[in-house]
Amino acid sequence: MMQSHSKVLLVDDEQHITRNLEKVIPWEMLGLTVAGTAKNGVEALDYLAQQTADLILCDIRMPVMDGLELVRRIREQGIDLDVIMLSGYQDFTYTRAAIQFGVKDYVLKPIPYDELTGVIARVMSEQRTRRRKAKEEERKIGQMIDLASEKILYDVLMDYTEISPNNLLLAGVEQQLREPQYTVIVLDLDVESESAHDWRDWTVKERKSWNSSLCGVLRHTLQAAGQPHAVIQTRDGEWCVLIQSESGQTHEPELASRWAQQLLGVIKNEKSLKLRAGLFTNRVALTGLSDAYKTVQRGMQLSVSADQLTCYSGELSGAVEPEHVMWETAERLISGLKRGDADDVDAELARLAEQLQQAIGGTTRLRAMLHFVAVHLMRELKEAGLLPREQEESLWRKLDGRFGIKDLFAAIRQATSVGVARSTDKRKHSARQMSEAKSYVDRNLFRDISVEEAASHVGLSTSHFSLLFKQTFGETFIEYVTRQRMEKAKALLVESNWSVSQIAKEVGYAERRYFTKVFMKYTGQNPTEYRSALQEGADHVREPEE
């Protein structure tokens, strides 16, 4: 594919000069095309209001608007182009003014065309290098924003963080997170399928590797399609795929279904385990993501459909309302187990037993309802590290076999008993883990430390670590890290003479622009303004010298 030529605008009130420049300079060789000519600064600005240019060759002395005023206007309007001045006046005043306005070079008339060709070649080479670096910088910032978005979106999906206009974490990514609508697709391993029996026996390391590999496949598929997205692992064997579209874009449910089918097809071709997909039928804003995700997750767990793709809305049908009531009891039961609250666990188990007795339907339906609860309970306990291997195997045997409702409920009761005991023991251990995690974060604020890394450092799964961190410190991991970085940056701005770029790197931001956005969200001022305001305040209260 041939690269398109850059464009040059020739500005001189002497037409024979612009004609000679058009004919004599080897524009094709320099990768340039003469896009137009102008007789003065006003004509040049009119041209730039309608079309773009990459380079201007401009005389200094012209009627109506001279070259220096033209360049001043160009800089004032923020037009991205380079300027080479042409002049018959060898006056330092002109040269100094030209340099002040960022003119790239200053060539005296009569024009030495060979010399001018060399100057143009150098200026354009520098421009292309500069723009290439800027594009790479934008790409890096884009990657940072994508990473930040996924971290924030995980907390949003898990309902760990409050979404408000003042949320610090939206700094720099608010346009990516607030304005678009999201299509929510949940991909879940069918843990009861024949192909998942081997998965049950995998080690923690093997499962982590597989989960990571599958995430990579999903991201690669959506990147290849040029589709803005986030792929978030919500628990072992379950992923939430968020496909982004602008709020004014027409919603096409059929397109969303094709995306889900495509992802299932890719996974089937590359991985041996069977996945199911659940699609939320309406697009949702950031504030609705958690409810949409929970609706789909719950619907998939309670579904008796053999279809690989099922669609869900926010409405409950009367046919499945008892299952949803029981599911809510299971959610409260799981919450109590994670907190190690034995009284709450006993109360929810009693409520579950009562719901089973009151449920309308035959034994088959009751067993199916309890079966759904048991599978969900087991996966959540395992994710939280509260289910020993032997207990998990015992539950699977009862789920795989034809055990009655009483036996299955007894197995659930036994698993919760073990879980709450382990949770109580783990609370003390968790306090130590969170203290160590906090110290680890504080020691590593200077680099891009991830929640996955911090969780791994203290030996926890990402989801359980995130929950514990929020419960312990009252804010999410990302909120804590960002606040600590901003406080350290404030101190450095006051106590050191470091540049803003140096301070940004010291507190873990590779790019100054992204750091500045977050800092402004945190303090209401950019770093330079913050430093200046404090220095002016210090000068104001300083005692006058005798």
Q: Greater confidence, 482 or 397?
A: 482
Is residue 442 over pLDDT 70? yes
pLDDT of residue 542: 44
Is residue 546 over pLDDT 50? no
Which residue, among 254, 144, 239, has the nearest Cα to 184 in the 3D structure? 239
Residue 540 is which amino acid? H
Residue 267 is which amino acid? I
* Least-confidence region, from 90-104, 300-314, 343-357, 398-412: 90-104
Instruction: Give the residue-averaged pLDDT of 159-166.
Output: 64
Is residue 104 over pLDDT 90? no
* Least-confidence region, from 141-145, 274-278, 456-460: 141-145
Instruction: Give the residue-averaged pLDDT of 346-352.
Output: 91
Integer Cα distance of 147 and 173 in angstroms: 10
Q: What global pTM score does this model have?
A: 0.56
Instruction: Give the residue-averaged pLDDT of 400-411.
Output: 79
Integer Cα distance of 385 and 387 in angstroms: 6
Is residue 8 over pLDDT 90? yes
Stated length of the chain:
546
Which DSSP helix (H) or strand (E) runs through 502?
helix 500-506
pLDDT of residue 306: 67
Antiparallel, parallel or unpaired: β 6-11 and 32-38: parallel
Integer Cα distance of 117 and 336 in angstroms: 77
- The mean pLDDT of the chain is 80
Instruction: Give the residue-averaged pLDDT of 103-125.
Output: 88
pLDDT of residue 543: 44
Instruction: Give the residue-averaged pLDDT of 253-272.
Output: 82
**How is 344-412 classified by DSSP, letter by letter?**
HHHHHHHHHHHHHHH--S-HHHHHHHHHHHHHHHHHHHHHTT-S-HHHHHHHHHHHHTT--HHHHHHHH
Integer Cα distance of 45 and 97 in angstroms: 19
Mean pLDDT comparison of 166-175, 283-292, 528-537, highest-scoring range: 283-292
pLDDT of residue 435: 85
**Residue 355: which pLDDT band, with cuts at 50, 70 and 90?**
confident
CB 504 within 8 A of CB 144: no
3-state SS record for 65-103: CCHHHHHHHHHHHCCCCEEEEEECCCCHHHHHHHHHCCC
Q: Return the CATH number of the domain spanning residue range 179-314.
A: 3.30.70.270
| Torsion, Cα of 144, 1, 218, 147 (10° steps) | 0
Decide which of 3.40.50.2300, 1.25.10.10, 3.90.420.10, 3.30.450.40 is the CATH code for 6-111: 3.40.50.2300
Mean pLDDT comparison of 71-75, 268-272, 388-392, highest-scoring range: 71-75
Which residue, among 244, 251, 248, has the nearest Cα to 226 in the 3D structure? 244
Instruction: Give the residue-averaged pLDDT of 218-244.
Output: 85
Superfamily of domain 432-540, CATH level 4:
Homeodomain-like (1.10.10.60)
pLDDT of residue 140: 54
In the beta sheet, which residues pair with residue 186?
A: 240, 278
Mean pLDDT comparison of 10-24, 96-110, 173-187, 467-481, highest-scoring range: 10-24
Per-residue pLDDT tens over the stretch 460-489: 878 778 888 888 888 888 888 888 999 999
Antiparallel, parallel or unpaired: β 55-59 and 82-87: parallel
